[in-house]
Structure 1
């Protein structure tokens, strides 16, 4: 069956489609074995095709600036959205890490200026990530001019980012915020919360940051996970070289 999938006359399957089909076949054979309808699990030795590594998708610095600028405004929602998006880009936080933040996790906020943020990653692993000046200004403005009003609309909560009814912003709401601001920025394509994380890492490496520093900032347990972003940067450099160098074409 695996050989048929590789050599069939119809349009060839992608590696991911073939892997899904073979997974279904292996599951079916396990079922036959458990039910006593087969005596040998012949599918157990079938190896799925190796999937190509998917490079993370980042947007350009100008595109990111357009998204962040789209959240500019003095209304409660804009102040909240601006703080959230600036934090995502400034720290490379996962969206779950961002919406789980409490006010106390923004260190320095009580003194009137947010300097660093305490993020809790996978397995509860804690890391401290600095905030750039743009993120600091956006968070400070939100904490002073928006959050107290939003907080008064609902039950008391330590959550940093609040919805319009005073509740903690959910992951789903954060997705909608990002989608809406990307549409306002007229990017012409959709972005996700992870686009901010990918762009954070890619832009840092393109600016000369050490890969192990980026690893720590992202909270990766292995530098190998972070090194995939160096491939993205290399691809960008290769494209620029091909476009600009007279002997490259």
Structure 2
């Protein structure tokens, strides 16, 4: 029997093998996203395999490094623009990055302590990417790593999306630099990180800003309950008929 290679590549087993988080099925996660974002309240986000695919279409190391940073830290694009080599602390067992809040980065003088948040870098491959970039690009210790305009960075992303489309890879949601921040939050939620922890890592003052993402997991739970609502009307009527009238 000759197997269809296209059907084999797109088999449910192959799709389910895409890594999101332990016990998370890619097809189900896509379906939940479609429902959750349909009313315009839940922000658009990419799932981990989609981010990996999108980064694959960024052959320029500088572009790849920028959007990998957004994905690994949840930083806003403006916050990423302020990152310098000294922002990264990579020695020791728990590498992290210092991110200066976008709202205060343009102010003069030393920023207040609560304006700088510390974000752990838990992905070893990304940490190696940072180390490699610093060793080869050799940026100055206190100069911005990415000296480009917001529009230029958006064009880098558009080019990657277009390369993906030309290769038959399409994304069902609009993709902007801020999409990576939403994706980081959802990825952390899929890995069951507490809301308060995520709120602190992304610098949200109001917990309600994080709670809008959790509707996806309300849908997920409802889907696993499999609550039936349909019964046999004839049998129900027969039982009710045998009961005395209710006062």
Q: How many positions carry a matched residue from both structures?
A: 176
Q: Does 1:127 align with 2:117?
A: yes
Q: Give runs of aligned pairs for residues 66-215 of structure 1, distance below 5 A.
A: 66-71=53-58, 73=59, 78-108=60-90, 115-124=95-104, 125-131=115-121, 132-145=123-136, 147-148=137-138, 158-161=143-146, 168-186=147-165, 187-189=169-171, 190-215=174-199
Q: How far 1:169 sits from its partner (Å)?
A: 2.1
Partners of 2:89 and 2:95 within 8 A in 1: yes
Change over 3 Å in CA distance of 1:230–1:246 after alignment to 2? closer
Report the TM-score, using the length of structure 1 for normalisation. Answer: 0.61
Distance 2:119 2:190 in 1: 19
Partners of 1:113 and 1:140 within 8 A in 2: no
Change over 3 Å in CA distance of 1:102–1:114 after alignment to 2? farther
Give the number of the structure with larger relative contact order, counting CA–CA contacts within 8 Å between residues 6 or more apart. 2
Segments of structure 2 that go 5 or more residues without pairing to the other structure are 1-38, 105-114, 231-247
Distance 2:54 2:223 in 1: 24
Distance 2:190 2:49 in 1: 14
Change over 3 Å in CA distance of 1:240–1:85 after alignment to 2? farther
Distance 2:179 2:193 in 1: 19
Deviation digits for residues 24-69 of structure 1 (CA, Å, limit 9, x no counterpart)? xxxxxxxxxxxxxxxxxxxxxxxxxxxx762101112211110122
